[in-house]
Amino acid sequence: MWASRQIPPKDHASFIRDARDYALVNGIVLRCDPININCVAHLPFTLFPSPYPNELYQECLNIQPVVNRLMLGIANDTSFMNDTLRPIAQVDDFTKNLLDINDAVRREGLAQPIISCISRADYMLDTAPNAAQNEFRLRQVEVNAIASAMSPHSDQVAKLHDFLMTKYDVKMPAATISRPDNTSLATVVGGLVEAFDKYGKSSACILLVNEDLNRNLADQFKVELELTKMRPDIKFVRRPFLSLPDMIRLGPNKELLLEETREVAVVYFRYCYDPSHYSSSRAWDARLLMERSRAIKCPSINFHLAGAKKFQEVLNNQAKLERYLQPAEAQRLENVFCKFWSFKDCSDSDEGYKLATSESVGLVLKPQREGGGNNIYGRDIRPFVEKIAKTEAISQYILMEYIDAPLEKNWVVSQGDGSVSDSVRLDECDRLVSELGIYGAILADANTSLVESNKSGGYLVRSKRFGVNEGGVASGHAGISSLILVDGFQAADEFSLYYVKVVT
Ligand code: ADP
Ligand code: MG
């Protein structure tokens, strides 16, 4: 039992050095210096795996195909999409441009009816109201429909933990059921390969679209390495989005041609999800050209739009979800959904407005953005909402209940300052909060909604210090962890060592 041992071991300096060296050697890294592009540092990670209730993990995994089909239903429901997002488009040019592209390619007629999406649905454990101590339920944070990252790192961190626990003889908690296999990279690569095969031209390539100076190189390059290991016959190229306007054109049958002659079978977007990624109208023209082409997009523009957070608020209960799902499936999703509110006229009878300007401590305010750093939390919500209440800008925000996640005792190994003494320093046992992501991949027909393939598998755990709001790893807010599945939190006393009920 961990509880009976000294955690971390007495010789923690070598323990941490080994952990950092493992991360560096196995490519759990990102570029750290904008000047010297050969310079990398390890990503933040936790020193130990994160215990997680087996039952709730299995539920996240099992509902991912349902999440995929919900996304498909939204993606193909053009009038509902416009009804829902057009009011936001009036105040948000980014949403407007995406919607306009979606409408334009549908008006023109789809050159490629097959659409694909590699997604990651993120969840946190939540303390249910009036629940017994250590009794938790799942709450979905969001579904990432574009650029679902970190799949190679999540698997590597599990291996890092295995290595450390074996070398230093750290025992699993007594209630351990298993260490689940992490097939996240296989899910992502499998999704790309299926899309490639569906395109049906062996000489065409997969194009990964990324940022200019690619900090996240290990994450993306490992997708390429794994894919070419699995399928050496498939050509894979990575190109920065900014360079594409000069590199792509349509062929006579709307083939997407890269660098004049190279036909693209699949465009894999790892970028293009934030307004700042579109530095000129030429960038928008390039996105439109790719969407108009015969290449299969991952995600296609309608899947990208289906990831808008607004849909979490609009499709918030079983009855609404039944628009796309069977009743039993809709109920399972409702069980993991948070409460949401939108803003109507911001009068005293507007429930969202009243909540935001009174009890905002238990709330998160979100715009229609991805990639971190855009949300407003707790006490900051009220002044913000009061300032924009009478403007149209308020329509792009949704209000979400705050998830009261349990605390976990673990350590985040961040980069530190890189000095020898700092590199083995271990702060007080951190109080961490974990977020679990489950990967999925779907391939379907945009005209008929016929599902060609619908897969789920693999996970990402990100653990952040309690009290830190954002959860990004590359931004330094959280460390990557791995899972130990356990048989209920109440089953074993030693979990009091790792989980404490949050008292706010
Ligand atoms: P983004 O698209 O920027 O990733 P998210 O909705 O995932 O936006 O929010 C960013 C982070 O904020 C999450 O990773 C999570 O740590 C935290 N967060 C988001 N929603 C909630 C919530 N309802 N309760 C508690 N924390 C939240
Ligand atoms: Mg997120």
370 lines ligand 1 (CB under 6 A): yes
Q: Which two tokens stand for residue 501?
A: 């009920």
- Cα–chain-centroid distance for residue 101? 24
Query: Is residue 450 within 8 Å of residue 73, measured between CB atoms?
Result: no
447 and 113 in contact (C-beta within 8 Å)? Answer: yes
Q: How confident is the model at residue 7 (pLDDT cuts 50, 70, 90)?
A: low
pLDDT value of position 282: 97
Mean pLDDT over 492-497 rounds to 40
Q: Would the pLDDT of 302 be above 80?
A: yes
Give the number of the ligand closest to the Cα of residue 471: 1
Q: What is the pLDDT of residue 428?
A: 62
Contact 403 CB / ligand 1 (< 6 Å): yes
Name 432's Cβ contacts closer than 8 Å, sequence gap at least 6: 46, 50, 407, 408, 409, 410, 412, 463, 464, 465, 466
Confidence of residue 503 (pLDDT cuts 50, 70, 90): very low
Nearest ligand to residue 477 Cα = 1
Average pLDDT of 51-75?
Answer: 96
Q: Are 123 and 63 in contact (CB under 8 A)?
A: no
For residue 500, what are the β-bridge partners?
Answer: 407
CB–CB of 124/139 below 8 Å? yes
- How many Å apart are CA 462 and CA 436, to the nearest integer? 7
The reply to whether ligand 1 has any atom less than 6 angstroms from the CB of 378 is no
3-state helix, strand and coil shares in percent for the chain, rounded to the nearest 5: 40, 25, 35
Query: pLDDT tens digits, residue range 235-292?
Result: 999 999 999 999 999 999 999 999 999 999 999 999 999 999 999 999 999 999 999 9
Model confidence at 406, pLDDT cuts 50, 70, 90, reads confident
Q: Is the pLDDT of residue 445 over 70?
A: yes
For residues 288 and 104, is the Cβ–Cβ distance under 8 A? yes
Whether 366 and 375 have beta carbons less than 8 Å apart is answered as yes
* Cα gap 394→379, rounded to integer Å: 17
Residue 459 has pLDDT above 90, yes or no: yes
Is residue 409 predicted with pLDDT exceeding 50?
Answer: yes
Cβ(142) to ligand 1 under 6 A? yes
- Position 5 pLDDT exceeds 60: no
> Which ligand 1 atom sits nearest the alpha carbon of residue 373?
3
Tokens of 3: 């509880």
CB atoms within 10 A of CB 291: 25
Looking at residue 30, its pLDDT comes to 93
27, pLDDT greater than 50:
yes
Structure tokens at 91: 């105040």
Per DSSP, what are the bridge partners of residue 340?
Answer: 400
Ligand 2 mean position, distance from CA 308 (Å): 12
Q: What is the Cα–Cα distance from 206 to 225, expressed in whole angstroms?
A: 13
Which residue puts its alpha carbon closest to atom 14 of ligand 1?
471
Structure tokens at 81: 């999409």
* CA–CA dist 466, 451 (Å, integer): 40
Looking at residue 8, its pLDDT comes to: 59
| Res. 427 pLDDT band, cuts 50 70 90 | low
CA 184, chain centre distance (Å)? 12
Give distance in angstroms: CA of 45 to centre of ligand 2.
17
Q: Is the dihedral of CA 393, 333, 128, 436 positive or negative?
A: negative
C-beta 143 within 6 A of ligand 1: no
What DSSP string runs through 17-72?
HHHHHHHHHTT-EEE--SS-TT-EEEPPEESS-EEEEHHHHHHHHHHHHHHHHHHH
Average pLDDT of the chain, as a whole number? 91
pLDDT reading at 4 higher than 60: no
Enter the tokens of residue 492.
């074993």
Q: What is the mean pLDDT of residues 80-91?
A: 97
| 219 Cβ closer than 6 Å to some ligand 1 atom | no
Average pLDDT over residues 205-219: 92
197-201, 249-253, 499-503: segment of lowest average pLDDT: 499-503
Stated pTM of the model: 0.95
Structure confidence at residue 12 (pLDDT): 78
Q: Is 239 helix (H, G, I), strand (E, B) or coil?
A: strand
Over range 104-110, report the average pLDDT: 98
pLDDT at position 429, please?
A: 66
Beta bridge pairs of residue 258: 248, 262
Instruction: Name which of 49-53, 156-160, 231-235, 261-265 the model is least confident about.
Output: 49-53
Q: Which ligand 1 atom minimizes the distance to the CA of 433?
A: 16
Strand (E) positions, 323-384? 340-341, 363-366, 376-377
The pLDDT, as a whole number, for residue 487 is 81
Which of 404, 475, 413 shows the shortest CA–CA distance to 433?
404
